């Protein structure tokens, strides 16, 4: 890219406001060079600086005795016992996935994997939380097809099982799908690698793939200076190479078994710039880079291009000088590039040289400390009035068929069948088998439970309740397999933060999440913020996606959701018949209305603790939390899971049947147990409401009053949508 004269207009093109550019001038004491301006613009971008969200994120609780590293590192780290730590994080690749669904999703998976293995953890599981436009929108199919292929294409090839996730559809995501990828890894708890550089004189080493002109600063793409010739060289969509990533994982883990690494950081957004600036900044040292040494894929790359390239599958390390050869041998064995591209200094500055010229020379402290931080105005989020009575237009069985077959509730087998979920040989609960995926830790009885959750329609109606609900549901899904919930990662997907109503949604969601995290002892240890998810001025539904992690001491104690014949069904929790924002209301009554179900955090905790205790005591054969679609959908999913029918008792006296069976009250679980009476007694002594629901038997789901529907018919309705829609 040809250098251009640095002017306030160019700064604006690079996404810096006049005030921000003024700050750049003050820090530099002169007009910055083209490359320097590029460095400031990416470091101070929303993506790297969290300038709109930082003030709010601080409100999230991040500590607990088992938290080893909270937010601020490449990923969160928690103690899972046996001298091991789980390392995990979730990250969005929303915009790239709309432009190029396959590569956008694939590189999203690649990026989050690097965040985890850069800390010394072997990745053991991937999850993906996906939101798409309405299925009737002609664009949606192509996006779904590409995203699912991309997630699978990358994860399957690197050999990390994809064990869970979620899929939602809503018109608000039509021009703005959400692809949130989560990776979980395991490391010895005393062998965690961090990114703070140390040791003046130590070599700065680049490993992985070569650098090309991939994904360079979006702002400059619109530059009027582009002509036909540069058009060909135009910053391009990043293409992922999972094969190289697999080699990079093996090479890094092999090197991490030695004592060669002082600090390590993946090159993610803003590539070499953010990795070198952050490593040096965190370690309070200076750094010198010689770009002539950077492995390059294309000819004639400029300093600007190399500093801003987002080529995939690259890492930056600081090594002990006497271990450089050991490291080089390992990377050469794995056929990866290895190059010493600089060294640490004591100047507190980043100095970038290329072809004999100093292309950038910036003091690191002010670059970090004077980064913009905005207290953007927030508008209060209005609450919807309570729903009045809503009559049942359909009857229970037709409503059940509609719900269990609708895009938001139907079987996701079409999706997860494209993801290798068994590789590693440790997957105890695969997708669809339980409320959380369960992955055993190789060589032990211990296991991790993993889930992602968010109900965006609740968040849109009441962001605070929605944020709370998302955290509570993640906690509930972990409890429902018998795991002890430990911590979450989050992915805050919102619209334009410059609009007060969007910032209001953000702030309220954080408030709700923070309250739930505190009440459930479920801190946030990592996360990601994705703003400006808008097309033509219309924002997405506020979507604070939550990735939850829990631990089981003995994988053999976990339960799935499949019914078995002869068991009693018990509902734990209270059914008030809450229809506001329920799927029944939307799919059956045709309304999106009312406030979402309130979250009673004390009840969540009490009910979940009881359920977990019962599971670990071996008194529960199957368990499923009650979420989207309500009680009858929950029971139907359990029946389909075990291929056994159930006979249900009457709704309690005084309740309205369709409200009872389809309401979406929180803090509830359905248990399948051998001895319901004993469970009811246990619940009573714990102060937890519980009631008998029915019994698992036969080949039909039989509702009170004797109406019944065969499992075969239910299954056909449940499994129809995806294959029919995608044409195979």
Ligand X SMILES: Nc1ncnc2c1ncn2[C@@H]1O[C@H](COP(=O)(O)OP(=O)(O)O)[C@@H](O)[C@H]1O
Q: Which stretches of the chain bind Mg ion, using CB under 5 A?
A: 435, 477, 625, 627
C-alpha 415: how far from its chain's center?
17
Query: How far apart are alpha carbons 669 and 218 in whole angstroms?
Result: 47
C-alpha 217: how far from its chain's center?
24
DSSP state, 118?
T
Among 20-28, 40-48, 419-427, 696-704, the segment contacting another protein (CB under 8 A): 419-427
Per the DSSP assignment, residues forming a β-bridge with 119 are none
CB of residue 127 to ligand X, shortest distance in Å: 7
Verify binding: residue 417, another protein, rule CB under 8 A. Answer: yes
Select from 45, 138, 149, 145 the least CA-distant residue to 106: 149
Judge contact between 61 and 517, C-beta under 8 A.
Answer: yes
Query: How far apart are alpha carbons 70 and 49 in whole angstroms?
Result: 17
- Beta-strand pair 543-552/447-453: antiparallel
Q: 109-128 mask for ligand X (x: CB under 6 A)?
A: -------------------x
Verify binding: residue 728, another protein, rule CB under 8 A. Answer: yes
CB of residue 375 to Mg ion, shortest distance in Å: 37
Query: How far apart are alpha carbons 523 and 310 in whole angstroms?
Result: 31
Select from 90, 110, 344 the least CA-distant residue to 209: 110
Q: Tell me how far CA of residue 639 lies from CA of 3, 53, 70, 211, 469, in angstroms.
A: 65, 43, 40, 52, 26
Residues 6+ apart with CB under 8 A from 228: none
Instruction: Map residue 80 onto helix, strand or coil.
Output: strand
Q: Active-site residue 93, yes or no? A: yes
Q: What Rg value do the Cα atoms of the chain yield, rounded? A: 26
Verify binding: residue 495, ligand X, rule CB under 6 A. Answer: no
- The listed partner (ligand X, Mg ion, another protein, none) that binds 412, CB under 5 to 8 Å by sort, is ligand X
- The listed partner (Mg ion, another protein, ligand X, none) that binds 415, CB under 5 to 8 Å by sort, is ligand X
Number of chain residues interacting with ligand X (CB under 6 A): 19
- The listed partner (another protein, ligand X, Mg ion, none) that binds 582, CB under 5 to 8 Å by sort, is none
Verify binding: residue 2, another protein, rule CB under 8 A. Answer: no
Tell me whether residue 263 or residue 636 sits nearer to ligand X (CB atom).
Answer: 636
CB of residue 123 to ligand X, shortest distance in Å: 16
Q: 75-104 mask for another protein (x: CB under 8 A)?
A: ------------------------xx--x-
Name the closest residue to ligand X (Cβ). 165
Among 45-53, 167-175, 420-428, 580-588, the segment contacting another protein (CB under 8 A): 420-428
Query: How far apart are alpha carbons 724 and 266 in whole angstroms?
Result: 41
Verify binding: residue 186, another protein, rule CB under 8 A. Answer: no
- Beta-strand pair 646-648/690-696: antiparallel
Select from 477, 656, 659, 497 the least CA-distant residue to 56: 497
- The listed partner (another protein, ligand X, Mg ion, none) that binds 407, CB under 5 to 8 Å by sort, is none
Query: How far apart are alpha carbons 229 and 217 in whole angstroms?
Result: 19
Q: Active-site residue 375, yes or no? A: no
- The listed partner (another protein, Mg ion, ligand X, none) that binds 453, CB under 5 to 8 Å by sort, is ligand X
Q: Assign 3-class secondary structure to 253-306.
A: HHHHCCCCEEEEEECCCCHHHHHHHHHHHHCCCEEEEEHHHCCECCCCCCHHHH
Per the DSSP assignment, residues forming a β-bridge with 538 are 535
CB of residue 253 to another protein, shortest distance in Å: 12
Verify binding: residue 158, another protein, rule CB under 8 A. Answer: yes
Verify binding: residue 157, another protein, rule CB under 8 A. Answer: yes
Verify binding: residue 419, another protein, rule CB under 8 A. Answer: yes
Tell me whether residue 238 or residue 627 sits nearer to Mg ion (CB atom).
Answer: 627
Q: State which of positions 160-199 bind ligand X (CB under 6 A).
A: 162, 164-167
Query: How far apart are alpha carbons 226 and 141 in whole angstroms?
Result: 33
One residue of 240, 431, 495, 539 binding ligand X per CB under 6 A: 431
Q: Which residues are catalytic?
A: 47, 93
Site residues (CB under 8 A) for another protein?
99-100, 103, 149, 152-153, 156-159, 209, 212-214, 232-234, 236-239, 241-244, 246-247, 297-298, 311-312, 334-335, 413, 416-428, 430, 440, 442, 555-556, 728
């Amino acid at each position: 890219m040809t250098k251009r004269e640095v002017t306030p207009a160019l700064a604006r093109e690079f996404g810096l406001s006049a005030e921000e550019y003024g700050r750049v001038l003050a820090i530099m004491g002169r007009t910055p060079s083209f490359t320097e301006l590029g460095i400031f613009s990416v470091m101070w971008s929303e993506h790297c600086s969290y300038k709109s969200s930082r003030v709010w994120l601080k409100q999230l609780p991040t500590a607990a005795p088992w938290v080893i590293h909270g937010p601020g590192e490449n990923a969160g780290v928690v103690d899972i016992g046996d001298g091991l730590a789980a390392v995990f994080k979730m990250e969005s690749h929303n915009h790239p996935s709309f432009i190029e669904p396959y590569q956008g999703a694939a590189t999203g998976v690649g990026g989050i994997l690097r965040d985890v293995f850069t800390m010394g953890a072997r990745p053991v599981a991937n999850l993906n939380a996906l939101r798409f436009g309405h299925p009737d929108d002609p664009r949606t199919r192509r996006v779904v097809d590409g995203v699912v292929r991309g997630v699978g294409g990358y994860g399957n090839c690197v050999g990390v099982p994809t064990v869970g996730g979620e899929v939602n559809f809503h018109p608000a995501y039509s021009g703005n799908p959400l692809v949130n990828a989560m990776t979980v890894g395991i490391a010895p708890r005393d062998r965690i690698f961090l990114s703070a550089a140390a040791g003046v004189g130590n070599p700065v080493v680049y490993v992985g793939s070569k650098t090309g002109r991939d994904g360079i600063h979006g702002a400059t793409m619109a530059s009027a200076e582009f002509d036909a010739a540069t058009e060909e060289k135009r910053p391009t969509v990043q293409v992922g190479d999972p094969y190289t990533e697999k080699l990079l994982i093996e090479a890094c883990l092999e090197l991490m078994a030695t004592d060669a690494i002082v600090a390590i950081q993946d090159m993610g957004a803003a590539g070499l710039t953010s990795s070198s600036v952050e490593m040096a900044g965190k370690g309070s040292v200076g750094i010198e880079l010689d770009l002539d040494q950077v492995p390059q894929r294309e000819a004639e790359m400029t300093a600007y291009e190399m500093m801003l390239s987002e080529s995939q599958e690259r890492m930056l390390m600081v090594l002990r000088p006497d271990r450089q050869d050991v490291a080089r041998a390992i990377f050469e064995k794995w056929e990866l590039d290895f190059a010493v591209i600089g060294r640490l200094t004591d100047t507190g500055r980043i100095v970038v040289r290329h072809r004999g010229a100093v292309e950038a020379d910036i003091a690191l402290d002010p670059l970090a400390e004077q980064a913009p931080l905005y207290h953007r105005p927030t508008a209060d989020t209005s609450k919807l009035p309570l729903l009045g009575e809503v009559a049942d237009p359909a009857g229970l069985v037709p409503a059940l068929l509609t719900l269990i077959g609708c895009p938001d509730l139907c079987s996701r087998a079409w999706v997860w069948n494209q993801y290798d979920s068994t590789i590693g040989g440790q997957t105890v609960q695969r997708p669809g088998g339980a409320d959380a995926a369960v992955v055993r830790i190789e060589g032990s009885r211990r296991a991790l439970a993993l889930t992602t959750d968010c109900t965006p329609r609740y968040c849109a109606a009441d962001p605070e309740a929605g944020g709370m609900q998302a955290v509570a549901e993640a906690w509930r899904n972990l409890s429902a397999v018998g795991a002890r919930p430990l911590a979450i990662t989050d992915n805050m997907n919102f619209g334009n933060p410059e609009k007060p109503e969007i910032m209001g949604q953000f702030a309220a969601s954080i408030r709700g999440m923070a309250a739930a995290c505190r009440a459930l002892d479920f801190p946030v240890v990592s996360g990601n913020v994705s703003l400006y998810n808008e097309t033509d001025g219309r924002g997405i539904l506020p979507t604070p996606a939550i990735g939850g992690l829990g631990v089981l001491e003995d994988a053999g104690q976990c339960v799935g959701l499949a019914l078995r014949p002869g068991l009693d069904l018990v509902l734990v929790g209270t059914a008030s018949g809450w229809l506001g924002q329920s799927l029944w209301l939307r799919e059956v009554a045709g309304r999106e209305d009312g406030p979402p179900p309130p979250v009673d955090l004390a009840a969540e905790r009490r009910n979940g603790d009881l359920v977990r205790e019962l599971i670990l005591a071996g008194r529960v054969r199957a368990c499923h939390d009650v979420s989207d679609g309500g009680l009858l959908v929950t029971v139907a999913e359990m029946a389909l899971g075990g291929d056994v029918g159930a006979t249900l008792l009457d709704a309690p006296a005084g309740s309205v049947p369709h409200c009872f069976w389809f309401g979406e009250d929180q803090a509830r679980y359905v248990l399948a147990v051998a001895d319901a009476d004993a469970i009811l007694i246990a619940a009573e002594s714990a102060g937890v409401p519980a009631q008998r629901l029915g019994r698992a038997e036969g080949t039909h789901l039989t509702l009170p009053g004797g109406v019944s529907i065969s499992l075969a018919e239910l299954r056909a309705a449940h499994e129809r949508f995806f294959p029919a829609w995608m044409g195979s």
